[in-house]
């Protein structure tokens, strides 16, 4: 397999998941400002993550890739069994992170966003984080309760963006504690190091 990635972007979640299951894979960094013709021919969507499988098939979209990775090694227990109510709950968390939280950050990373657009984005991100804080404030360790899953990996990556956007996590102590728990995982440290994000 080969994972096409941009350091620190949402593709970091797929990268961490691959390390969690002990997969054999290659990494290829994509230049966000100057995507190659080869990459665009491979993935006309033009963004990461993109995962090519050993048979040449291409997968895109984080929520889908994360579930695929989890399903390739059920013993790693990164996702409940397909068809179960718990799997539907996992998909609920993945989709919330992808469509609500992740997308709310978008104006903060665009060079042409106005200050008004950035202020509106910060307020929107805060509302989305409020929901996650409420979930985690019941004492659970992970989104699914006591079971670590690919949804936690995705949340970790997106919540990390509160750093460079200067939103911070001071107002969300349960999320801040969650981030520390996930950051301590060996797979996370290895992925951050491989992407040049940690010493």
Predicted structure pTM score: 0.96
153, 65: one domain = no
Q: Answer whether 61's CB lies under 8 Å from 22's CB.
A: no
Rg for the chain, CA atoms, rounded: 16
34, 55: one domain = yes
Q: Is the pLDDT of residue 35 over 80?
A: yes
Which residues constitute the domain of residue 12? 2-76+187-194
71, 92: one domain = no
Q: Is the pLDDT of residue 162 over 80?
A: yes
- Number of domains the chain is built from: 2
Q: Is the pLDDT of residue 192 over 90?
A: yes
Q: Output the pLDDT for position 32.
A: 81
Three-class SS state of 26: strand
Cα(179)–Cα(165) distance, integer angstroms? 16
110: in domain = yes
66, 147: one domain = no
Q: What is the CATH number of the domain that holds 97?
A: 1.20.1050.10
Nearest to 175 by CA among 162, 191, 189: 162
199: in domain = no
């Amino acid at each position: 397999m080969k994972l096409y990635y941009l350091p620190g972007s949402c593709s970091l979640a797929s990268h961490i998941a691959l390390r969690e299951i002990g997969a054999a894979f290659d990494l290829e960094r994509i230049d966000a400002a100057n995507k190659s013709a080869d990459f665009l021919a491979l993935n006309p969507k033009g963004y990461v993550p993109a995962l090519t499988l050993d048979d040449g098939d291409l997968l895109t979209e984080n929520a889908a890739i994360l579930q695929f990775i989890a399903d390739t090694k059920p013993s790693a227990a990164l996702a409940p069994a397909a068809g179960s109510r718990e799997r539907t709950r996992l998909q609920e968390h993945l989709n919330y992170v992808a469509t609500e939280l992740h997308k709310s950050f978008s104006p903060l990373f665009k060079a042409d966003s106005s200050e008004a657009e950035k202020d509106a984005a910060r307020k929107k991100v805060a509302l989305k984080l409020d929901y996650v804080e409420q979930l985690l404030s019941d004492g659970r360790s992970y989104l699914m309760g006591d079971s670590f899953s690919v949804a936690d990996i995705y949340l970790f990556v997106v919540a990390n963006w509160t750093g460079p956007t200067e939103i911070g996590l001071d107002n969300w102590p349960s999320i801040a504690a969650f981030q520390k728990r996930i950051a301590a995982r060996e797979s996370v440290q290895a992925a951050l190091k491989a992407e040049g994000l940690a010493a």
